[in-house]
Every structure is written in C-alpha cells, then in structure tokens.
A = this chain, B = another copy of it.
Amino acid sequence: MSKQALTPQSEDFSKWYNEIVYRADLAAQSPVRGCIIVKPYGYELWDHLKNNLDRRFKETGHQNAYFPLFIPESYLKREAEHVEGFSPELAVVTIGGGKELEEKLVVRPTSETVIGEAFSEWIQSYRDLPLLINQWSNVVRWELRTRPFLRTAEFLWQEGHTAHATHDEAEEETLRMLDVYADVAINEAAMPVIKGQKSNNERFAGALRTYTIEAMMRDTRALQAGTSHNLGQNFAKAFNIRFLGRNNEQETCWTTSWGMSWRMIGGIIMTHGDDAGLRLPPRLAPIQVVAVPVYKNEDEHRAVLAALNGYVQALRAAGVRVHLDDREESPGFKFNDWELRGVPVRLEVGPKDLEKGSVVLARRDIPGREGKQFIPADGLVPAVQDLLMTVQANLLAEATAFRDANIHDVRSYDEFKQVIESGGFARGFFGSSDADEKAIKEETGATLRCYPFEGSAERGPCFYNGQNEGRLAIFAKAY
C-alpha cells in the first residue's frame, strides 16, 4: 500500500473517493469496461449490509427466489414506459452455443418483466395473495460514465417484487419497504436519510409512484440510497397477472418493486469518510476492533502478544469482530493503515499497559488524544461493546448535524441558485411543471430529489415562478 497521503476531501472530493475505494482495498479496477472487482474487505461490508436487509425482509414475510439472468427482448417491450426507460442501457446476448440466437436475450437490468410473467402463472386466486418475493442478484446497465460502487455496468443488489389484491395493500407494502430501507440506512449504516416521493420526471420507468430515501454526502451532494415503487396495475396488465377474487370474478393484481444495491457502500464511504480515510459504522464494519501490539524488543513482543491473544479471544467470544495485526511493521504504520480502512476501534497494548493491567482504546471517529482512553484490562469486553455503540451513535449524530446544517430553505429561484452553487440541499415550495423541473436541471445541475414526507401537508408559493401553489420539495446535485 502506498504511504502517500490521500487527496484531501476539500481539494477534490471525487479524487478522494476513488483513492479511498482502491487504497482501503474495498475494490479493484477490473479489465472489463465499467465493471469493478469487489475485494474481500468490500465484499464483507456488503455481506453485513445484505444480512441486515435479508433478516428484515424475512421478518416482514418475504421469501427469496431466483429468476433467470436473461430476459427475452420481447418481454421488455410489453410495458411501454419501462422499455423506453431501459433501452439505452442494455447489454444484449446475440450468440449462444456458437449460433446466432433467434430471439435476442437482454441481460437483466431489473426483473419486473420476467418476474411479472412468472407471477401471472403462480397467482390463481386471492388465496395466493399477497405474494412477497425478494431476489438477490447481479444486474447490468450499460453506463457510459462509471464510478466504483456508485455507478457500474454490473452491480449486486436485491429486488423485491410483490403482488396484492388492492391498490391500498400495494401502497402499504411500498411504504413498509421504504421504512425497512430507512431503518437499515439509519440504524445500521448510520446514514441519516430523508424519506420522500419522486417527481414524475424521476420516478421508475413504469411505476405509478416511486418513493426514495435520500442521503447527503460530505460534499453536500445527494445520494439516492434505495427506492420503492408502487407499480399500480401497469405491469400486471402487461403481463396478465390476474386472480379470482372472493366474489368469484377475475381481477387484476397490484404490484410493487423495491431495490437497494451495493451503491450503499459508496454512500457509507461518502457519508462518514474523512481525510485520513474510511470511517465505518461498527454495525457493518468487517473489522470492528483491530488489536495492535506495541513493543521494542522480542521479549516485550512475546509478553504483549500473549496478553493480546487473550483479549482477542474474549472479544471474539462476546461476538466482536476483531483482527490482531501482528505484522512486522511499526505501530505507527499500522495505526495509519487501519485508520485508512476505517476500523472503528483500535486496541493497543504495550509493556507499560501490561504492568498497569490496562489497555488503550482509540476511537476512529475522534482523532488524537481526545479519542483515546485507558481501560482496566478486566473490564475490556463491556468497555469495547459500549464504545462500539457510542461510535455508531456518534457517526449518525455527526452526519445528521452536517446534513441539517446544509439544508437551506429557499423562497426564490435566485436563492435556489445560490444554494445549489455554494453546495447543499435547497428546500422550497415547488409547483411548476415537469418541463420547468427539467429546465432547472439544465440550468443548475440540480434535480428534484424528493417531495419529503416531513412537511408534505405544507403548501406555499412556488420558488421558481412565484405564483403557483407548491408542495415542499428538496433539490440537489446528486450522484
């Protein structure tokens, strides 16, 4: 690993991001255009996120299944908005087993179509509803400008797909899963998010309504961290998903879909990271505690290591993910290395600590002496458990304070432009047309991130044209 310092965030946030992704060993560049290789450290972070989501999906009654990677081209064309939305970014298989295929196969960009077709066969009567399915899979969207985790041609994600007897049940499901996403973002990733509804321009291709959780990165840009779609009867009509109702009449289902991807890893990096590197939330960190021996000679090394091994075992037995770094390098090198990789807590033990029967705990989220404490060795396990919770809470508090300080209320388009230019979310009443929304994007680069749930009842004069009554909206430049 290069010992050169990271580019400071304030100098070039984008450059900082790319450097930290590769230098913290989360991912590696791949020889395949637009794709990345997720290295073990990044994959384990994803695995923790995945397990936390999967548990919640099961608690809310969903089951996992697996559908084909390939989708016949004709399927995609059945829902008009859907094909228009996804056509420009498809990867297409035209050769199979050495022969030109009769019907081209699209590599799934999302699976509403192939799952819709399956649902139409699986669902016969109201007894089969609701049907609550989730899929963990890879999907492909041919992107021209890619960034590791945030925008890659292939990415890993989950996509939920459900069918219901009524609009209201579908709407309830759509909002329930948005809540699950918000819960995971806030309470696992320590990433404060704003729940809201997408505008017509920004909703999913084929959806009735799209809900979103929007986070603020440390450069004040927005990141869409998860979306949940009420698909109405659009896909049910296109794929003939019907059921025999209680009244013995054929009815059309109402469906939903919702997805979260490894983009969340990019979100975690950009929500918490600082100029020294990553800062991972303890609940998702592959390594929660790194143990570093401090010594000057082999005798000290042996003694310190023996003690550390005991501590490590005790922590592991208590369910703490701990790594003992006994490499030959100096403690200083190791401290920097694990700071770069964002390990929440460092456990140091040197000969003096042994004498005193104490250990040093250093927090990644608070640099320098302030974040260091001496703890009696026999109270190590509860102290570490407490500290991990404290770090988790502090990361969330910091990110929330940062976000709230960078949301600005605007009453005019001039104020709006000033906010967007100097950085931050612009919040104001918006009541102009879809075309006006596009014109704003054109001129300022900011998009309507969402109509937030909080304050959704408020109305006021549109900041853009000053006349129409508008709903509260949040605009920002976004990833």
The chain A residues found within 8 Å of chain B, CB to CB, are 28, 30-32, 35-40, 43-44, 47, 63-72, 75, 87-98, 104-105, 107, 114, 117-118, 121-122, 133, 137-138, 140, 142-144, 153-154, 156
Contact = CB atoms under 8 A, between A and B. Distances in A.
Q: From A64, A97, A117, A121, name the one whose CB has the most chain B CB atoms within 10 angstroms.
A: A97
A156 B138 CA distance: 12
Contacts of A68: 30, 32, 35-37, 154
Which A-B residue pairs are the 8 nearest by beta carbons? A40-B63, A97-B142, A35-B68, A92-B95, A38-B66, A32-B68, A96-B142, A94-B94
A137 B95 CA distance: 21
Contacts of A65: 37-40, 43
Given A63-B40, A69-B154, A92 B96 contact: yes
Contacts of A40: 63-65, 133
B88 A96 contact: no
A161 to B, nearest CB: 12
A286 to B, nearest CB: 10
Given A66-B38, A68-B37, A114 B30 contact: yes
Contacts of A133: 40
A75 B88 CA distance: 27
Contact of A97 (B64, B89, B138): B89
A153 B97 CA distance: 10
11 contacts: A31-B72, A31-B114, A39-B65, A40-B63, A40-B133, A69-B154, A70-B91, A91-B93, A92-B94, A94-B95, A97-B144
Contacts of A95: 90-92, 94, 104
Contact of A37 (B43, B67, B70): B67
A107 B88 contact: no
Given A32-B114, A91-B95, A97-B88, A43 B70 contact: no
Given A91-B96, A92-B94, A97-B88, A69 B118 contact: no
Nearest to A75: B31
Contact of A118 (B30, B91, B105): B30
Nearest to A89: B97
A114 B31 CA distance: 8
Contact of A138 (B47, B69, B98, B153): B69
Nearest to A35: B68
Q: From A71, A107, A121, name the one whose CB has the most chain B CB atoms within 10 angstroms.
A: A107
A32 B87 CA distance: 19
Given A31-B72, A37-B118, 4 more contacts: A32-B72, A35-B70, A37-B67, A69-B138
Contacts of A104: 95
A32 B106 CA distance: 11
Contacts of A93: 91-94, 107
A87 B92 contact: no
Q: From A66, A122, A133, name the one whose CB has the most chain B CB atoms within 10 angstroms.
A: A66
